[in-house]
A = this chain, B = another copy of it.
């Protein structure tokens, strides 16, 4: 009888879900295996998941939002909601705050990272997301522009095809979910190594994370990130830098940076953000 009660309790209580932050390089598979989106779905609670989609970066919020709604509904999420926040004032609305307080997963779509930050930063809605991500109540994912906003410093735009220099990249302030990193997305696909190097020259106290398309750096709360998907995650670690020429904003002279550490990670590889340990996929951590 006691056994039956315990069994029944177990079935009613949702399995404790290990939350995570998924930083996706854009163009993630939405059709076939959907490895990355499926992992987000799982980490948000699987069939118990209440997923809130924020398409504020996009100019076509209902189209892009609708697509993700269908995907997560198909996977079997308990509830999927679209919060099309267009204006900062909407972040005061009770129903928006209620959704963000109750959901188990937030998904930030692609579009324009400056628009996304303009709408969300320093709002009550943003405070709720940040606090719940930090305390492990909420799994967060961002793709493309939604990935760019993850750090405190954000790449707003930039060029390629020239020697690394400070004028090559425009920096702004991101949403700071993982303040230690500067993210660049569509990374090798759009030849962005140079702009990430330029960004790091301005902020050598951060870790550069370049994420390819259909690829994800999934950050656990203990500092480990793990790579998923078909491309690579490039980590540029300036911790041991011995010299830079510290170019000022807009400077066009070529950068000098000595003693960066560079890791090219692929599927299953792990990196610890604070201890700066890198582990191959084959190496199991308990």
A267 at the interface (CB under 8 A from B): yes
- Indicate how many identical chains form the complex: 2
Question: C-beta contact mask, A264-281 vs B, less than 8 Å → 1, else 0?
Answer: 111101000000001011
Which size class do A's interface residues fall under? Answer: 35 or more
Cα of A258 to Cα of B264 in the assembled complex, Å: 6
- A258 to chain B: which residues have CB within 8 Å? 263-265, 269, 278, 280
In the assembled complex, how far is the CB of residue A160 from the closest CB belonging to chain B, in whole angstroms?
6
A262 at the interface (CB under 8 A from B): yes
Name the residue on B nearest A194 (C-beta). B188
* A256/B242 in contact, CB under 8 A: no
* B262/A266 in contact, CB under 8 A: no
Cα of A230 to Cα of B99 in the assembled complex, Å: 54
- A261 to chain B: which residues have CB within 8 Å? 259-262
Question: C-beta contact mask, A238-272 vs B, less than 8 Å → 1, else 0?
Answer: 00001101000000011111111111111101000
Near B by CB (< 8 A), chain A positions 39-90 give: none
Given A254-B230, A258-B278, the answer on whether A164 and B264 have CB atoms closer than 8 Å is: yes
* A245/B260 in contact, CB under 8 A: no
In the assembled complex, how far is the CB of residue A277 from the closest CB belonging to chain B, in whole angstroms?
10
A191 at the interface (CB under 8 A from B): yes
A212 at the interface (CB under 8 A from B): yes
A33 at the interface (CB under 8 A from B): no
In the assembled complex, how far is the CB of residue A247 from the closest CB belonging to chain B, in whole angstroms?
10
Cα of A267 to Cα of B253 in the assembled complex, Å: 10
- A231 to chain B: which residues have CB within 8 Å? 162-163, 254
Cα of A231 to Cα of B264 in the assembled complex, Å: 24
Question: C-beta contact mask, A186-206 vs B, less than 8 Å → 1, else 0?
Answer: 001111011001000000000
Interface centre among A193, A215, A254 (most CB of B within 10 A): A254
| Contact among B161, B188, B232, B260 with A263 in the assembled complex (CB-CB below 8 Å) | B260
* B280/A267 in contact, CB under 8 A: no
In the assembled complex, how far is the CB of residue A60 from the closest CB belonging to chain B, in whole angstroms?
25
- A242 to chain B: which residues have CB within 8 Å? 278
A236 at the interface (CB under 8 A from B): yes
Cα of A262 to Cα of B258 in the assembled complex, Å: 7
8 examples of A-B residue contacts, CB within 8 angstroms: A160-B191, A163-B212, A164-B232, A193-B194, A232-B254, A257-B264, A258-B265, A258-B280
Binding site for B on A (CB under 8 A): 160-164, 188-191, 193-194, 197, 212, 215, 230-232, 236, 242-243, 245, 253-267, 269, 278, 280-281
Contacts beyond the supplied A163-B188, A163-B232, A231-B254: 15 A-B pairs with Cβ under 8 Å: A161-B188, A161-B191, A163-B215, A164-B188, A164-B232, A164-B264, A188-B194, A193-B193, A232-B255, A242-B278, A254-B264, A255-B264, A256-B265, A257-B263, A258-B264
